């Protein structure tokens, strides 16, 4: 390998990128847009679920119960309906995601028999939200019951009954606010880099074929490895600029807690950038038309990185065969690394497994890409 | 011929290459000596470009052996690449790079020393008439200037072999003259040049010419010997209506072939002395006004057409 020819390729490629400001602008603006879109748009937290309240009693107690739903922060009591039919109508229209019906004899039943029912109905078309909302509703009711019992006991001069023998003292670490954004935004960075990185290099070889410059290039002493490394140099710089932008946006704009070291972040990000650029380059080597290469790059990176990287769906909840497939999804290693570096402040030695996986990936992709490069027309 | 020696620089034997059902090259053998300007002449689709690509090592033959500058191109295409320069038919340089940047890029790929690069760049740009355009993007050059830039890039290192695929197609006459001046200079320094062309006047400038048809060499020799070898003699008929003259003479006895060339018809006959008066009579009989019928020396085009005709090819 000749460093001189490698630098000549890098020089030529840089000039071409520079002379094509539109593509350069897209390469630098795409992550900005995606970061804004995904960073703001994606949150798994369910807050202020709109409820329709059918309070048939209108007593002190029933109003207290409604107030507790709203005060929890999980629900908002946007609508009030007097009849079951109106509740049904509100759910059908999508005006609310759930309904609470407090029966007309709520207080009386509670006072006389010691128990009363409250009905909740949820629109389960969105199962995830519904499950979470039901959990929240149960929490509100459980707390209300406990409070009512204490109040009743106090009023009658009795000691409050023990609710249970075991008290759960739940503490959450690493993301103390249980803010799903802190968990998702590092993964968003990984997804954006995977998409943008592959797009950056996916056109670089097919462009030479389409413009007719490849025939002359391969008639020179330049080798496959020199072409590849030379072409990757400028895109590596662009990829790192994109990565730095996304990571700094996560830290300083979205205020995701960053507890790790910037050196660990830089090393792992450089490694991941190399992998995604290598993937794009391999696609470019294999597919001679620019349009085809760009689309294949999108399809090959989009689905695995969004669905199988642990970005939104937890990998350990997937069926075993799907979990096995995720081992091939390079983005999952970087998602793991970023979450650990951001939230846990993991040092390098705790990340050896995903780093080893990414290194193996980088080596394999570059080897395959160099071997796939055809220095003949046939 | 000036620098021609008996050193064989390009040797191809039994070359075959097909693309699907099309046999682009069938059984081509060539031997080209150092310092020759060797021309491949043929119509589109005759196999010129495929032969160029095979010799440059950018295409693999289905069968046959190729040695260029002592290197087995089929086995070691990489090794031959520092010995030759290949200029594809389609402009192969970077249109979004300037003239100077393209030259710099190719000089680096061929590991030319900076001193040599500076010297050669100045000299070649001067010869090509491109010196004032160094900072212009290659994409904004005219067709002729592009081809000359291609030649400059091909010559920025010192190739032993220069392969030029239709280098002057679509090039203006002034650029063509510059182009050929550079080629003649190169031959002086012992560079072997193989070029393909569809222009017959360019074929005449080559030291040797191979006439290609349907992937085969129909004839290969110096232009003068090719002309001598043409069967029959050539009559030049100048007529007011050359189309009508062409029609009238088509099935006249002794006529082997006709070639319409502007305001005249080249008529190939078995015996010029005997047929000349006969043709004159035939034209007069059909009231076709003609000024003269003279015996002329054939050009390469006449030879080429003669070879392509069934009777002439025999």
Establish if A164 belongs to a structural domain. no
Whole-number pLDDT of residue B314: 33
Average pLDDT for residues A262-289, to the nearest whole number? 93
A282-310: average pLDDT: 86
Do the chains contact at A4 and B106, CB–CB below 8 Å? no
Query: Which of these three, A140, A155, A170, is where a domain ends?
Result: A155
Considering only CB atoms, A220 lies closest to which of B91, B97, B110, namely B110
pLDDT digits (tens, 9 = 90+) for B204-214: 999 999 999 98
Predicted local distance difference test score (pLDDT) of residue A361: 94
CA distance B81 to chain A (A): 5
- Claim to verify: residue A296 and residue A265 sit in the same structural domain: yes
Same domain, A224 and A364: yes
Q: Which residue's structure tokens are 């620089």?
A: B9
**Which chain B residues in 75-134 lie under 8 Å from chain A, judged by CB atoms?**
77-78, 81-82, 84-88, 90-97, 101, 104-106, 108-111
pLDDT at B2 over 60: no
CB contact under 8 A, B92 and A212: yes
Separation in Å, CA of B264 to nearest CA in chain A: 40
- Count Cβ atoms below 10 Å from residue A313 Cβ, excluding itself: 13
Report how far residue B247's alpha carbon sits from residue B245's, in angstroms, rounded to the nearest whole number: 5
Dump pLDDT digits (tens) for B112-131. Answer: 999 999 999 999 999 889 99
Judged by DSSP in three states, A73 sits in coil
Nearest Cα neighbor of A63 from A130, A180, A139, A144 is A144
A165 belongs to a structural domain: no
- pLDDT tens by residue, A99-115: 999 998 888 888 888 78
Q: Which of B77, B96, B137 has the CB atom closest to A20's CB atom? A: B96
Across chain A, mean pLDDT equals 87
Q: Could you tell me the sign of the dihedral formed by the alpha carbons of A196, A33, A357, A311, in that order?
A: negative
DSSP helix/strand/coil, B270: coil
Amino acid B1: pLDDT:
46
Q: Which residue has the tokens 């109040």?
A: A151
We report the CATH number of the domain holding residue A150 as 3.40.1710.10
What residues are paired with B237 via a beta bridge? B265, B293
Average pLDDT over residues A208-234: 93
**A-side interface with B, Cβ within 8 Å?**
2, 4-5, 7-8, 11-12, 15-16, 19-20, 211-213, 215-223, 375-378
- A81 assigned to some structural domain: yes
| Confidence band of B312 (pLDDT split at 50, 70, 90) | very low
What's residue B55's pLDDT?
95
For residues B9-19, average pLDDT: 94
- Give the mean pLDDT of A274-300: 89
Q: CA A32, CA A21: separation in Å to the nearest integer?
A: 17
Asked whether A140 and A118 are in contact (CB, 8 A), the reply is: no
CB contact under 8 A, B59 and A378: yes
Nearest chain A residue (CA) to B92 = A213
Give the pLDDT of residue B208: 95
From first CA to last CA, the distance across chain B in angstroms is: 30
* Same domain, residue pair A111 and A11: no
Residues A282, A319 within the same domain? yes
Whole-number CA gyration radius for chain B? 22
Query: What are the pLDDT digits (tens) for A28-37?
Result: 998 989 888 8
How large a percentage of chain B has pLDDT more than 70?
96
Which residues from chain B sit within 8 angstroms of residue A223, using beta carbons?
A: 78
Residue of B nearest to A207 (CA): B94
Mean pLDDT, rounded, for B72-100: 93
Domain for residue A32, yes or no? yes
Local confidence band at B313 (pLDDT 50, 70, 90 cut-offs): very low
Is residue A227 situated within a structural domain? yes
| A12 neighbourhood in chain B, CB within 8 Å | 94, 97, 101, 105
Provide the domain count of chain A: 2
Q: How far apart are CA A333 and CA B182, in angstroms?
A: 59
Mutate to test the interface with B, among A1, A5, A208, A219 (most CBs of B within 10 A): A219
Residue A163 pLDDT: 53
Lowest pLDDT segment from A89-103, A149-163, B241-255, B271-285: A149-163
Q: Which CATH superfamily is domain B231-297 in?
A: YebC, transcriptional regulation domain (3.30.70.980)
DSSP code for A343: I
Q: Which of A43-47, A84-88, B54-58, B110-114 has the lowest mean pLDDT?
A: A43-47
Looking at residue A150, its pLDDT comes to: 79
Q: Which of B60, B86, B108 sits opposite A5 (nearest CB)?
A: B108
- Flag if B59 and A377 touch (Cβ within 8 Å): yes
Q: Evaluate if residue B172 carries a pLDDT over 80.
A: yes
Length of chain B: 314
Q: Mean pLDDT, chain B, as a whole number? A: 89
Domain boundaries of chain B, sorted by first residue: 8-226, 231-297
Mutation test of the interface with chain B: which of A221, A230, A375, choosing the one with the most B Cβ atoms within 10 A?
Answer: A221
Residues A100/A119, Cβ–Cβ less than 8 Å: yes
A36 and A57 inside one domain: no
Looking at chain A, the whole-number percentage of residues with pLDDT higher than 70 is 95
Q: What is the pLDDT of residue A271?
A: 96
A166 assigned to some structural domain? no
Residue of higher predicted confidence among B222 and B241: B222
The strand pairing partners of A100, in sequence order, are A53, A120
- Res B152: pLDDT: 94
pLDDT in tens, B255-276: 888 888 888 889 998 888 888 8
Asked if residue A3 has pLDDT above 70, the reply is yes
* pLDDT tens digits along A169-193: 767 677 766 677 888 899 999 999 9
Q: Can you give the pLDDT at residue A161?
A: 59
Q: What is the pLDDT of residues A325-355, one digit of tens each?
A: 999 999 999 999 999 999 999 999 999 999 9
Residues of A in contact with B53 (CB under 8 A): 215, 377
> Could you read off the pLDDT of A230-262 as tens digits, one per residue?
999 999 999 999 999 999 999 999 889 999 999
- A188: exposed, middle or buried (Cβ count in 10 Å: 0-12, 13-18, 19+): buried
> What chain B residue is nearest to A21 in terms of C-alpha separation?
B96
State the best of B77, B106, B109, B112 to mutate against chain A, taking most chain A CBs within 10 Å: B109
Domain identity same for A321 and A227: yes
ipTM of the complex: 0.86
Please answer whether residues B52 and B163 qualify as being in contact, where contact means their C-beta atoms are separated by less than 8 angstroms: yes
More confident residue, A298 or A41: A298
Q: What are phi and psi of A91, to 5 degrees?
A: -65, -40
Beta carbons of A96 and A50 less than 8 angstroms apart: yes
In sequence order, the 6+-apart residues with CB closer than 8 A to the CB of A267 are A348, A355
Q: Which CA distances in Å does B143 have to B140, B149, B200?
A: 9, 10, 20
Residue B297 tokens read as 């020396």
Specify the 3-state DSSP secondary structure of B117.
Answer: helix
pLDDT at A162 over 60: no
Could you list the residue range(s) of the whole structural domain that residue A17 is in? Answer: 3-43+179-372
Kindly state the tokens that stand for A76: 């908002």
Q: Which of B187, B195, B226, B238 is nearest to B48 (CA)?
A: B195
**Same domain, residue pair A274 and A202:** yes
Q: Between A8, A212, A219, which is nearest B108 by CB?
A: A8
Q: How far is A374 from chain B (nearest CA, A)?
A: 10
Contact criterion met (CB < 8 Å) for A216 and B87: yes
Question: B8-226 belongs to which homologous superfamily?
Answer: P-loop containing nucleotide triphosphate hydrolases (3.40.50.300)
């Amino acid at each position: 390998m000749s460093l001189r020819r490698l630098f000549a390729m890098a020089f030529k490629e840089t000039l071409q990128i520079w002379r094509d400001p539109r593509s350069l602008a897209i390469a630098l603006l795409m992550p900005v847009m995606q970061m804004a879109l995904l960073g703001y748009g994606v949150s798994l937290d369910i807050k202020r679920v709109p409820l329709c309240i059918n309070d048939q009693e209108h007593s002190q107690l029933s109003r207290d119960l409604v107030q507790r739903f709203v005060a929890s922060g999980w629900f908002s009591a946007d609508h009030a309906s007097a009849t079951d039919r109106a509740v049904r109508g509100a759910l059908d229209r999508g005006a609310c995601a759930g309904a609470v019906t407090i029966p007309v004899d709520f207080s009386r039943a509670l006072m006389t028999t010691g128990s009363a029912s409250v009905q909740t109905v949820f629109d389960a078309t969105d199962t995830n939200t519904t499950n979470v909302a039901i959990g929240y509703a149960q929490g509100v009711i459980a707390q209300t019951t406990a409070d009512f019992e204490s109040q009743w006991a106090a009023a009658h001069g009795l000691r409050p009954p023990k609710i249970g023998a075991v008290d759960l003292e739940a503490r959450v670490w690493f993301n103390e606010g249980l803010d799903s954004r802190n968990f998702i935004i590092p993964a968003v960075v990984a997804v954006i880099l995977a998409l943008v990185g592959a797009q950056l290099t996916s056109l670089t070889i097919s462009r030479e074929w389409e413009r007719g410059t490849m025939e002359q290039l391969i008639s020179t002493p330049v080798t496959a490895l020199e072409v590849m490394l030379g072409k990757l140099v400028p895109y590596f710089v662009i990829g790192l600029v994109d990565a730095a932008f996304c990571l700094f946006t996560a830290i300083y704009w979205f205020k995701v807690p960053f507890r790790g070291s910037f050196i660990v972040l830089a090393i792992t990000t450089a490694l991941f950038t190399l992998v995604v650029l290598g993937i794009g380059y391999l696609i470019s080597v294999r597919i001679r038309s620019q349009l085809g290469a760009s689309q294949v790059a999108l399809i090959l990176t989009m689905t695995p990185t969004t669905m199988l990287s642990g970005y939104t769906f937890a990998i350990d909840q997937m069926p075993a065969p799907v979990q096995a497939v995720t081992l091939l999804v390079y983005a999952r290693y970087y998602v793991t690394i970023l979450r650990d570096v951001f939230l846990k402040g993991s040092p390098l030695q705790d990340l050896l497994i995903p780093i080893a996986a990414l290194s193996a990936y980088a080596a394999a992709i570059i080897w395959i890409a160099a071997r796939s490069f055809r220095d003949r027309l046939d | 011929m000036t620098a021609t020696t008996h050193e064989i620089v390009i040797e191809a034997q039994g070359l075959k290459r097909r693309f699907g059902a099309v046999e682009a090259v069938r059984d081509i053998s060539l031997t080209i000596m150092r310092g020759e300007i060797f021309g491949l002449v043929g119509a589109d689709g005759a196999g010129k470009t495929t032969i160029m690509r095979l010799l440059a090592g950018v295409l693999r033959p289905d069968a046959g052996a190729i040695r260029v500058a002592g290197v087995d191109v089929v086995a070691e295409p990489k090794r031959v690449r520092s010995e030759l320069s290949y200029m594809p038919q389609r402009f192969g340089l970077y249109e979004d790079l300037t003239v100077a940047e393209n030259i710099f890029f190719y000089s680096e790929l061929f590991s030319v020393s900076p001193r040599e690069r500076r010297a050669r760049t100045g000299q070649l740009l001067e010869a090509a008439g491109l010196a004032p355009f160094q900072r212009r993007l290659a994409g904004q050059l005219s067709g002729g200037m592009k081809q000359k830039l291609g030649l400059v890039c091909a010559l920025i290192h010192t190739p032993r072999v220069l392969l030029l695929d239709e280098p002057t197609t679509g090039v203006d006459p002034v650029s063509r003259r510059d182009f050929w001046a550079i080629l003649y200079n190169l031959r002086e320094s012992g560079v072997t040049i193989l070029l393909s062309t569809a222009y017959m006047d360019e074929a005449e400038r080559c030291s040797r010419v191979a006439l290609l048809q349907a992937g085969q060499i129909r004839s290969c020799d110096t232009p003068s010997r090719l002309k001598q070898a043409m069967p029959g003699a050539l009559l030049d008929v100048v007529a007011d209506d050359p189309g009508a003259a062409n029609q009238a003479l088509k099935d006249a006895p002794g006529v082997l072939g006709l070639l319409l060339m502007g305001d005249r018809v080249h008529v190939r006959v078995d015996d010029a002395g005997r047929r000349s008066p006969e043709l004159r009579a035939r034209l007069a009989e059909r009231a076709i006004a003609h000024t003269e019928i003279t015996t002329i020396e054939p050009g390469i085009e006449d030879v080429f057409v003669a070879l392509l005709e069934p009777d002439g090819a025999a």
